[in-house]
A and B are shown apart, each in its own frame.
Chain A
Amino acid sequence: MKRHWWKALGVIIIFYTIIQGFLGEVPHYFILNETIRNMYFHVTMWFAMIILMLASVIYSVKHLSSGSRISDLKAKELALTGVVLSIAGLLTGSLWAKYTWGAFWVNDAKLNGAAVTFLIYLAYFILRNSVEDEQKKGRLAAVYNIFAFVMMIVFLGILPRMTDSLHPGNGGNPGFDQYDLDARMQMVFRPAVIGWTLIAVWVTTLKIRYHQLLWKKEEMNDELEN
Chain B
Amino acid sequence: MFLQISEIVKLNFKLEWRKKQSVLAILLYVLTTTYLCFLVFNGSIEKETWNSLYWVVLIFAAIQAAFRSFQNEADRRFLLYFGMVKPQALILGKIIYNFIYLSVIGLFTFLLFLFFMGTEIEDPLAFIVLILLACSGFAAILTFVSGISAKAGDNPALPAILSIPLLFPQVISLSSISIRALTGFSWEINGPIILVLMLLTLVTVLLSYVLFAYLWRD
| Cross-chain contact B169 with A64 (CB below 8 angstroms) | no
Interface residue? B196 (CB, 8 A): yes
| Cross-chain contact B169 with A130 (CB below 8 angstroms) | no
Known: A123-B161, A142-B214. A162 touches B203 (CB 8 A): no
Scan residues 136-184 of chain B and give those whose CB is less than 8 A from a CB of chain A: 144-145, 148-149, 151-153, 155, 157-158, 161-162, 164-166, 168-169, 172-173, 176
B161 to A: closest C-beta gap in Å = 5
Q: Which of A122, A130, A132, A151 has the most CB of B within 10 A?
A: A151
B150 to A: closest C-beta gap in Å = 10
Chain A residues near B152: list those with CB within 8 A.
127, 130-131, 140
Known: A144-B148, A162-B196. A112 touches B172 (CB 8 A): yes
Query: Please, which residue of chain B has its CB at the minimum distance from the CB of A151?
Result: B166
Interface residue? B83 (CB, 8 A): no
- Scoring A residues 123 to 146 as 1 if CB is less than 8 Å from chain B, else 0, what string do you get? 100110011100010011011101
B157 to A: closest C-beta gap in Å = 8
Q: Select B155's contact among A119, A130, A148, A155, beta carbons within 8 Å.
A: A130
A116 to B158, CA, bound (A): 16
Give the B interface residue count (CB, 8 A).
32
| Cross-chain contact A131 with B153 (CB below 8 angstroms) | yes
Interface residue? B25 (CB, 8 A): no
Q: Select B166's contact among A112, A139, A148, beta carbons within 8 Å.
A: A148
Chain A residues near B153: list those with CB within 8 A.
130-132
| Cross-chain contact B176 with A136 (CB below 8 angstroms) | no
Interface residue? B191 (CB, 8 A): no
| Cross-chain contact B161 with A143 (CB below 8 angstroms) | no
| Cross-chain contact B162 with A143 (CB below 8 angstroms) | no
Chain B residues near A127: list those with CB within 8 A.
148-149, 152, 158, 162
B74 to A: closest C-beta gap in Å = 12
List 8 A-B pairs, Cβ < 8 Å: A120-B165, A120-B166, A123-B162, A123-B165, A130-B153, A144-B162, A154-B169, A162-B193
Give the interface of B toward A (CB within 8 A). Answer: 144-145, 148-149, 151-153, 155, 157-158, 161-162, 164-166, 168-169, 172-173, 176, 192-193, 196, 200, 203-204, 207-208, 211, 214-215, 218
